[in-house]
Amino acid sequence: MRILVCNDDGIEAPGLAMLERVARRLSDDVWVVAPDGKRTAASGSITIARPLQMTRLGDQRYACSGTPADCVVTAMTWLFAGIGKPDLVLSGVNDGRNVGEDLAYSGTLGIAREATFWNIPAIGFSRVKNPEMSENDEVWLSELIGTIWAAREQWFDEGHWLAMNLPTVLPAPVRQPRIGRDKIGRTADIVGTDGDVTTLIVPRGRSHAASEGDDNHLLDSGHVCINRLNWFGQKPLEDSLLAQLPG
């Protein structure tokens, strides 16, 4: 099995190193492509008609100057050209939870979404800040991924991927949460003005709002949260509205 491992925290991130070690428990054909620096909240953006630099750091290991999703694009259009695409894409482990609106903002999940455009199964992993790390975490996580991979026919379909949030302590029971609301980027700080130009900074952080059964609630109560997502997001318009439109 060929596995591609990417992230949005950068090639030197501890979460990437952990996920690479987990992947190597599942396969001897592991490739790593990650941004050359932190790319928080890059979502699924890709770089078009501008140069991208790929720096080889070791055997099957590269740093990309672009976005998290660029890591998948460059791998598919360059690294794997002629040798065959990966069977599975793993992204993360993100340094911090991805819940609520983060499902749209997250570069970690942008990687997984991009993988589905290439018809590749993908799982995006995130973990709460300051987890209690154990030497058994990687064994448990590799077994979990192995179980999910073996059952891929039950969750992988065109445009679908999995998003998984890990709690402070592993192992932990796995639950499917309701997607809550916990938006990042709710405020802006003015850091300077110069005539008609105002300089703002949108600070990090969120309220960590939670309600019964949502992703924050289950994470804080010690559960692994798993959601099956898709990028279609289409709901038909009512016929009564269409009838009012031209044509």
Distance (Å, whole) CA 230 – CA 163: 10
What residues does 138 pair with on adjacent strands?
none
Tell me: is residue 8 an annotated ligand-binding position: yes
Residue linked to tokens 């439109």? 245
Distance (Å, whole) CA 50 – CA 67: 12
Distance (Å, whole) CA 90 – CA 141: 12
Whether 108 contacts 8, CB under 8 Å: yes
Whether 94 contacts 123, CB under 8 Å: no
Q: Which two tokens stand for residue 176?
A: 């499917």
Whether 143 contacts 195, CB under 8 Å: no
Tell me: is residue 165 an annotated ligand-binding position: no
Whether 92 contacts 163, CB under 8 Å: no
Residue linked to tokens 């192995």? 146
**Which residues are CB-contacts of 200 (< 8 A; sequence separation ≥ 6)?**
188, 189, 190, 191
Which residues define the annotated binding site? Answer: 8-9, 94
Enumerate the known binding-site residues for a divalent metal cation. 8-9, 94
